[in-house]
Structure 1
Amino acid sequence: MAADRRVVAVVLPLGFAALTALVAVRFGPLLRLDTALSDAALRFARSHHVWRAVMSAITHSADQRVLLPALLLAVAFAVWRRDRAGVVFLLAAAATATVLRLTVLTLVHRPRPPERLTAAAGWAFPSGHTTSATIAAGILVVLLWPLLPSGRARAVLAAVAGLWAGLVGISRVALAAHWPTDVLGGWLLAGSVLTVLGIVLRPRPRDSVRPQPSGSPPGGDGP
């Protein structure tokens, strides 16, 4: 499992770096694919009003006015549980993702799609809503994981959190607020931050600590 995490911690940042380079140099085939997908999404949303309304509701669930209070609530919850590792992880994840995203955003300075179905401003790559939603989903899983009683409940938590983050990204393309690769970049960036910090900070669930054999000193042979 630890080896798998290390592989992911290498693959995701490399994928993000490669995608960033292609976007930065305005790689022709990638731009044409982005344009074709964005135009198709725009036409579909304009002709399907229920779809547009659903996508709008989902996209606004990841607005800063929603996620910032949620982050403060998560900090308060972790502090109340005296989960210092969780506090450090969630603050580090939120701060690191924000700094990296804004840095890349400024360096790449990619324009957004010209016709948009929701309010959006600033440069496009990587998607802020997508990055923030994915970071929030990861934080939610880390904080609630040790509180759930079974593997099935934890699988449901991870699936629901991942589905929401995925739908937020889809909504940004559906409403023509971002190009598809902006959203892919947001997923890769957030996944990179969550995976690397998960390895470095190791916010282990409390119930994952192996019981000590009788007579062993506390922490004597921990992983």
Structure 2
Amino acid sequence: MSATGWNPAVADRRAAAVVPALLFAVLTALVAARFGPLMRLDAAVSGAARRFTPAHPAWHATMSAITHTGDTNVLLSLAAVALIVLLLRQHRTGVVFLLLTVTATSAVRIAVMLLVHRPRPVDRLTATSGFAYPSGHTTSSAIAAGIVIVLGWTLLSSRRSRFALAAVAGTWALLVGISRVALLAHWPSDVVGGWLLACATTAAAALTLMGKRSSPRYSTGL
């Protein structure tokens, strides 16, 4: 830490939580206000997906397969497996991190969804329920990817394996979000909102539990 008490590493970690949180707040306000330019951009992208996806069966099938990897039953099963592994490893910090991240994100997403109550696009190409903003599949898959990346970073010793895990998990979360737009389940801003919310809550939970530790390989005990 410098003589002024400012630590660049800690500042970077805080920015990782604060910046997406602020962007999410701004985007949420624009969506709630039905901001004209944003609504027109959403409509234009969704219209392009409406024309493209049904006309290309292979793309439609691929997007459908990807989107179902973000279904609630799939992610809950993965979360249960991860929780069991962490408990068996006596990784108490990891258990708390997983539960805190999932719980906090779900609470925020549901509250915002009910507050904004945005309708979904018409002529949807996959089964949906509830309001549109922010996208549930997108948020949940991004949270899952974030948890995997954060915990994987602490459990893996190889730098190469860490980055490979981050690339795979991040790409999957990105594709799930894209699939929601391609299948007309969500407007593009619903997906961006989901990504921002997931980044903010994951980073905030990691900072809360690990922010006082100087090393990324934090202790397994609280």
TM-score, normalising length: structure 1: 0.90
Report how far residue 198 of structure 1 moved. 0.8
**Alignment of 1:100 onto 2:108:** yes
**Alignment of 1:188 onto 2:196:** yes
Measured in 2, the distance between the counterparts of 1:88 and 1:26 equals: 37
Query: Any unmatched runs of 5+ in structure 2?
Result: 1-8
1:30 partner amino acid = L
Matched residue, 2:217 = 208
Measured in 2, the distance between the counterparts of 1:34 and 1:58 equals: 21
Matched residue, 2:28 = 20
SS of 1:208 mapped into structure 2: coil
Matched residue, 1:213 = none
The structure 2 residue matched to 1:47, chosen from 55, 59, 76, is 55
SS of 1:47 mapped into structure 2: coil
TM-score, normalising length: structure 2: 0.90
Report how far residue 144 of structure 1 moved. 2.5
Measured in 1, the distance between the counterparts of 2:55 and 2:216 equals: 50
**Alignment of 1:90 onto 2:94:** no
* Alpha carbons 1:146, 1:205 under 8 Å: kept: no
Cα displacement string for residues 90-114 of structure 1 (whole angstroms, at most 9, x for unaligned residues):
0000001100000000000000001
**Alignment of 1:120 onto 2:128:** yes
Measured in 2, the distance between the counterparts of 1:208 and 1:107 equals: 39
Cα displacement string for residues 59-107 of structure 1 (whole angstroms, at most 9, x for unaligned residues):
0001011011111111111100100000000000000110000000000
Query: Any unmatched runs of 5+ in structure 1?
Result: 211-223
The structure 1 residue matched to 2:118, chosen from 83, 103, 110, is 110
Measured in 2, the distance between the counterparts of 1:5 and 1:207 equals: 11
Measured in 1, the distance between the counterparts of 2:27 and 2:180 equals: 18
Aligned residues: 210
* Alpha carbons 1:46, 1:52 under 8 Å: kept: yes
Consecutive aligned runs of 4 or more in structure 1 exceeding 4 Å deviation: 203-207
1:182 partner amino acid = D
Report how far residue 201 of structure 1 moved. 1.0
* Alpha carbons 1:109, 1:124 under 8 Å: kept: yes
Report how far residue 164 of structure 1 moved. 0.3
Cα displacement string for residues 103-158 of structure 1 (whole angstroms, at most 9, x for unaligned residues):
00000000000110000111000000000000101111223223323111100100
SS of 2:200 mapped into structure 1: helix
Q: Highest Rg: 1 or 2?
A: 1
Measured in 2, the distance between the counterparts of 1:145 and 1:208 equals: 7
Measured in 2, the distance between the counterparts of 1:102 and 1:6 equals: 24
User: Percent same amino acid at aligned positions?
Assistant: 56
Matched residue, 2:168 = 160
Measured in 2, the distance between the counterparts of 1:2 and 1:106 equals: 34
The structure 2 residue matched to 1:9, chosen from 17, 26, 51, is 17
